């Protein structure tokens, strides 16, 4: 569900107000608890660093300036340092000493906020650049997959189904992105399998079935040299044919199988059942749903099956299915 722009802006302003409120909270609490001016001032760096990390250079600098103004106001008009006032008066320190400390501290805080915010903005820019590169590599790999019409369309639909199931299970955005990428590439190893075997209309022999199973390891072999962020999807691709009861391609079972792979497994089977294949006609979505439900706790993770049923009831698993013909 898309969040309206006005709501996002309100949420952003609300978060910034909470940071400013934290300044007042720190001042009120520490002025009564602590007796060292340096300790009190030192704590004001925390909201500045937090603002830099969450919002960037501008907000961090403003937070630092607000901290300095607050301290100056407390010194001028309030009991700025509480129990420490008597000790400072007894020491008869020159009046400018306190202000010199505050000026040095305030300047350092503002510079720290500016620099930390700049570093965070650069880091975020680099992350965005890496994400763009990542999606570019996915598009290149998908181009190679387009030589096999069924594999291309099947992977696209499995990615859509998987993302829907992941969202229904409240997975975070990073996990959903990894699931979509893994689903797009889960059958890439089939590019190294003969098309005659992939489109064979008759029942496969044991030897042919073992060769088909090799598409998983072949796919890993194609993905490993890419490196970078794409490496995160390798364990998912490797496990997408593992079954919840351990009877799949590998003996891994239950929670030991990555949740992303368990989701793709359901989406993969559902799309295969509802698509025309050379050896059979497509099932109806309701027939495919019944097979998925029957496979709960054996082939599939019950939590994923529950999310699948919910998405199915809400009509969120309606994806255009392209007719497939053998080349």
The catalytic site residues sit at 190
Using alpha carbons, select from 306, 272, 300 the residue that is nearest to residue 287.
272
Residue with tokens 């760096």: 45
3-state secondary structure string across 62-100: HHHHHHHHHHHHHHHHCCCCCCHHHHHHHHCCCHHHHHH
Quick one: tokens of 66? 């607000």
Dihedral sign from CA coordinates of 163, 169, 174, 179: negative
DSSP code for 193: S
What is the C-alpha separation between 183 and 177, in angstroms, rounded?
A: 10
Question: DSSP states of 216-261 as a string?
Answer: HHHHHHHHGGG-GGGGGGHHHHHHTT--TTS-SSSS--GGGS-HHH
Decide if 21 contacts 69 (C-beta within 8 A): no
What is the C-alpha separation between 246 and 248, in angstroms, rounded?
A: 6
Decide if 38 contacts 10 (C-beta within 8 A): no
Decide if 75 contacts 123 (C-beta within 8 A): no
Residues 6+ apart with CB under 8 A from 322: 149, 153
């Amino acid at each position: 569900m898309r969040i309206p722009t006005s709501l996002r802006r309100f949420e952003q302003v609300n978060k910034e107000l909470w940071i400013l409120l934290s300044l007042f909270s720190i001042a009120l609490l520490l002025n009564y608890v602590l007796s060292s001016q340096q300790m009190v001032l030192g704590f004001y760096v925390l909201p500045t660093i937090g603002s830099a990390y969450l919002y960037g250079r501008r907000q961090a600098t403003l937070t630092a300036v607000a901290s300095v103004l607050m301290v100056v106001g407390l010194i001028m008009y309030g009991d700025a340092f509480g129990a420490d006032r008597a000790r400072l008066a007894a020491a008869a320190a020159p009046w400018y000493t306190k202000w010199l400390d505050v000026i040095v501290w305030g300047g350092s805080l503002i510079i720290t906020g500016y620099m930390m915010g700049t570093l965070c903005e650069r880091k975020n820019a680099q992350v965005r650049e890496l994400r763009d590169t990542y999606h570019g590599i996915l598009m290149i790999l998908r181009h190679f997959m387009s030589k096999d019409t069924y594999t291309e369309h099947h992977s696209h639909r499995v990615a859509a189904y998987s993302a829907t199931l992941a969202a229904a299970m409240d997975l975070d955005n990073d996990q959903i992105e990894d699931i979509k990428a893994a689903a797009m590439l889960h059958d890439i190893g089939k590019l190294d399998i003969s098309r005659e075997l992939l489109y064979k209309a008759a029942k496969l022999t044991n030897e042919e079935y073992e060769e088909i199973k090799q598409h998983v390891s072949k796919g890993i072999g194609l993905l490993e040299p890419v490196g970078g962020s794409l490496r995160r999807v390798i364990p998912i691709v490797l496990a997408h044919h593992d079954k919840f009861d351990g009877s799949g391609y590998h003996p891994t079972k239950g929670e030991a199988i990555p949740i992303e792979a368990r989701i793709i497994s359901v989406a993969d089977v559902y799309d295969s059942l509802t698509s025309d294949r050379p050896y059979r006609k497509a099932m109806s979505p309701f027939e495919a749903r019944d097979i998925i439900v029957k496979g709960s706790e054996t082939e599939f993770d019950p939590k994923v099956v529950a999310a699948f049923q919910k998405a199915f009831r809400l009509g969120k698993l309606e994806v255009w299915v392209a007719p497939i013909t053998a080349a």
